[in-house]
Amino acid sequence: MRYLCLVYGEETKLEGFSDEECIAYDVGLRQSGHCVASEALQPVATATTVRLRNGQVSVTDGPFAETKEQLAGFYLIEARDLNEAIQLAGRIPPVRIGSVEVRPIRELEGRRRDPGAHRTGRA
Amino acid sequence: MIGHTIAKTIERIYRDESRRVLATLIRLLGDFDLAEEALHEAFVAAMAQWPADGVPDNPRAWLVSAGRFKAIDVIRRRARFDDTLVEIAYELETAADDQTLVDDQHVEDDHLRLIFTCCHPALAPDAQVALTLREVCGLTTEEIARAFVTSPPTLAQRIVRAKTKIRDAAIPYEIPAPAALPERLDSVLRVIYLVFNEGYSPSSGDAVTRPDLSGEAIRLGRLLVTLLPEPEAIGLLALMLLHESRRAARSTQDGDIVLLDDQDRSTWDRKLIEEGAALVETALASRRVGPYALQAAISAVHADTGDASATDWGQIVGLYDVLMRVAPSPVVELNRAVAVAMRDGPAEGLLLIDALLARGDLGDYHLAHAARADLCRRLKKFEEARAAYERALALVQVEPERRFLEWRLAKLPN
């Protein structure tokens, strides 16, 4: 079962985390086989938001919305169930000062299915 | 026609065992709705077969087995439209019909699994309550809706959303690992206490107490203590029993509030008090004294004497001191201030409450202003008392409390 862990935090507070600490966690996660993908993001000031309304493309500077905590990075993980995903998310370093949203991946009809997908929720 | 005694037996078994059968079926079938259907079908089968075959030696095992086979039929039918179910049906069929899977230990585990899953913190708090009352207590959607003054469709939606989340986010049906247990147990206790409080003093509306919810909460508390005798589970049960012991004294025939000081203590249920006090001792004897045990201990001190004026306020303040270390909160601070006022005089208590309010805490809490008003009244600061009662009245939510405050306000000398 795959989950996307979205790491949010106030950027000024996130500056306090060393790259070494984040890399160390990432390496551990990859070695454990739980990590499908992971990246850190450039600060929210480098973001650009694109919309299409009434046939017009609109491009604006900044994130899709001003929020108190900003998206700083993500981990796409493989976990047995939500409890394991929570355990893994709870060790992401910024969780101490920010928030990690854990969202299950939705397998779309027609895409190649993960063989374990239909057995969600079973003990 | 089904014989009268068989019908009675099946009714009794439904009352006593259906929740445990459900808990096991959820584990075997991996789905709440399927398990509920299977449970229903199992009892239908029992009513059809037991009159002829007799009541089985192990009714629970029989029901689990019958439920499982009915579910396989359902899955096989659905598998015609959904290949992914073919494998599940196959696995269910070939799983050994192992009698040990329904022995006492496994059943206890399944029951705990059910409780912990319904109270999973990933579910919205009101969903945890609704799901627990529905699946663990067996209340109908209508009963739950009535108890919480919501509409049945709203409540049904809440439960559907919770089950959907359990499925889509893959919340596992398991007893939490030891490392996660304290936090997860916290969640369960919070749900039980919430249910109890809804029954004891509902958050809105007319009645001062709603007996059925409190009874359910106590039943749940007892079940939890049997399955998991942790100190805080014991503490919560003690607290609920001690609160419950005062039910008869807590309000008048017209539903008006009777304060602790004025209650007819001869109507307090001494059996509940004895049981609660004994549980307090057990909880406090453990090394891990938590907030429920401490609140229960405070309640036990009140229950210890038949005469309000003989209350050991020193001991109560001492317990609040510990509670402030273990689980500090503005409400605990307020309650401590009220106890200090009883021990040291209203002026001392007023200082503490004023400090609390000055900090910006509890400004919107009607009981903070009511407490302040009472202390001002005792100090003969009648203008301040009036202002505080009026502030409390602007914030109060429940009818009996409103009437009480209005009565106090009216009794102030001009």
What is the helix (H) or strand (E) element at residue B31, kind and residue range? Answer: none
Picking from A82, A121, A122, the nearest residue to B122 by CB comes out as A82
- Cα torsion through B45, B14, B236, A87, rounded to 10: 0
Q: Tokens 């949010």 sit at which residue?
A: A8
* Best CA proximity match to B385, nearest among B413, B360, B363, B348: B413
Q: How many CB atoms lie within 10 A of CB A64?
A: 11
pLDDT of residue B349: 96
A–B interface: beta-carbon pairs under 8 A: 48
What ranges do the domains of chain A cover? 2-107
What's the pLDDT band for A118 if we cut at 50, 70, 90?
Answer: very low
Q: Cβ contacts (< 8 Å) between A82 and chain B: which residues?
A: 122, 169-172
pLDDT of residue B308: 87
- Confidence tier at A122 by pLDDT (50, 70, 90): very low
- From chain B, the residues in CB contact with A80 under 8 A are 172
Distance of CA B105 to the CA centre of its chain: 24
CB atoms within 10 A of CB A20: 8
Name the CA radius of gyration of chain A, rounded. Answer: 17
Indicate the SS3 state at residue A101: strand
Strand, helix or coil for residue B95: coil
Instruction: Give the closest residue to A9 by CA, choosing from A109, A117, A95.
Output: A95
Are A83 and B180 in contact (CB < 8 Å)? Answer: yes
> Could you tell me where the DSSP H helices lie in B119-210?
125-131, 141-147, 152-168, 181-200
What homologous superfamily does CATH list for A2-107?
Dimeric alpha+beta barrel (3.30.70.1060)
Strand, helix or coil at A100? strand
Percent residues over pLDDT 70 in chain A: 90
Interface check B166 vs A, CB under 8 A: yes
Q: Are strands A35-40 and A70-78 parallel, antiparallel or unpaired?
A: antiparallel
**Out of A104, A106, A123, closest to residue B172 by CB:** A123
In angstroms, what separates the C-alpha of B145 from chain A's closest C-alpha? 27
Query: What count of other Cβ atoms lies within 10 Å of the Cβ of residue B268?
Result: 19
**Least confident span in A49-53, A72-76, B12-16, B187-191:** B12-16
Q: What residues of chain A have any CB closer than 8 angstroms to a CB in chain B?
A: 1, 80-83, 86-87, 104, 106, 118-123
With a CB cutoff of 8 Å and minimum separation 6, the contacts of B25 are B35, B38, B39, B64, B67, B68, B71
At B202 the pLDDT is 57
- As a whole number, mean pLDDT of residues A89-101 equals 95
Query: From CA B109, how far away is CA B100, in angstroms rounded?
Result: 13
Region for residue B216 given its phi and psi (left: phi exceeds 0; alpha: psi -120 to 50; beta: otherwise): alpha
Cα separation of B197 and B204, whole Å?
Answer: 12
For the residues of B329-356, what is the DSSP string, one character each? -HHHHHHHHHHHHHHH-HHHHHHHHHHH
DSSP code at position A3: E
Taking only the tens place, the pLDDT of each residue in A3-28 is 999 999 999 999 888 889 999 999 99
pLDDT value of position A120 = 42
Partner A contacted by B30 (CB < 8 A): yes
φ, ψ of residue B83 in degrees (nearest 5): -60, -30
Tokens 């001062």 belong to B208
Q: Residue B86 and residue B243: Cα distance in Å, rounded?
A: 52
**Full strand arrangement of the beta sheet holding A35-40:** A35-40, A70-78, A2-9, A99-104
What does the pLDDT read at residue A121? 43
CB contact under 8 A, B173 and A121: yes
- Burial environment of residue B209 by CB neighbours within 10 A (0 to 12, 13 to 18, 19 or more): middle
Instruction: Report d(CA A43, CA A118) in Å as an integer.
Output: 37
**Which residue from A87, A104, A122 is facing B169, i.e. has the nearest CB?**
A104
Look at residue B157 in the predicted model and tell me its pLDDT. Answer: 95
Q: Are B170 and A82 in contact (CB under 8 A)?
A: yes
- Helical segments of B201-287, H only: 211-227, 231-245, 247-250, 270-285
Residue spans of alpha helices (H) in chain A: 11-14, 19-31, 82-89
Which positions 60-119 of B are in contact with A (Cβ < 8 Å)?
Answer: 84-85, 87-88, 113
- Write out the H or E segment, with its range, that includes residue A76: strand A70-78
Closest Cα partner for B365 from B325, B409, B330?
B330
- The DSSP secondary-structure symbol of B361 reads -
Retrieve residue B34's tokens: 């399927």
CA B283 → CA A95, B123, B228, B239, B323, distances in Å? 34, 29, 13, 11, 14
**By the CB < 8 Å criterion, does B345 face chain A?**
no
C-alpha to C-alpha distances, B292 to A22, B44, B180, B223, nearest whole angstrom: 39, 42, 19, 17
Which residues of chain B register pLDDT less than 50? 209
Q: CB-based contacts of B117: which residues, under 8 Å, 6+ apart?
A: B26, B166, B171, B172, B173, B174
Where residue A67 falls among pLDDT bands split at 50, 70, 90? Answer: very high
**In chain A, which residues have their Cβ closer than 8 Å to the Cβ of B180?**
83, 87
